[in-house]
Amino acid sequence: MQRMFERDISESVIPEILKNNDVIESYPDDKPYPSFLVLGFDGSRPIHVVYAKDEENNPIVITVYEPDLTKWENDFKTRKTL
C-alpha cells in the first residue's frame, strides 16, 4: 500500500478497477494463487493492478502502478518489444 501512495494512486479507485477492467495478462502458475494484470482508469489516468483471488474469490492486491509508456504501447495493454 505504501508504494501505491508514493505513486499518488488513491486506494478508493481499486475496487472500481477490479469490478470494471480489462484483463491484459494472466499468470495461472503464480503461487499461492493465480494472478492477473488488469487495466483500469482513474478518470483518464491509466492504472495497472496485479491481483490474485483466494479460495473464496476475494481479491488480493499485489501491486498498483501507472503504466510506463517506455514499456507499454499507447493502449496500455501491449508490452513494447525491446
Contacts by 2-8, CB closer than 8 A, 24 or more apart? 3/63, 3/64, 3/65, 4/63, 4/64, 4/65, 7/64, 7/65, 7/66
Question: How many structural domains are present in the chain?
Answer: 1
Query: Which pLDDT band, with edges at 50, 70 and 90, does 5 fall under?
Result: low
In a domain, 6, yes or no: yes
In a domain, 73, yes or no: no
In a domain, 17, yes or no: yes
Q: How far is 33 from 27, CA to CA, in rounded Å?
A: 9
In a domain, 78, yes or no: no
In a domain, 32, yes or no: yes
Residue 60 belongs to domain spanning: 2-65
Average pLDDT over residues 73-79: 96
pLDDT 10s digits, 14-64 = 999 999 888 999 999 999 999 999 999 999 999 999 999 999 999 999 999
pLDDT at site 2: 66
In a domain, 10, yes or no: yes
In a domain, 77, yes or no: no
In a domain, 35, yes or no: yes
Q: How far is 6 from 79, CA to CA, in rounded Å?
A: 24
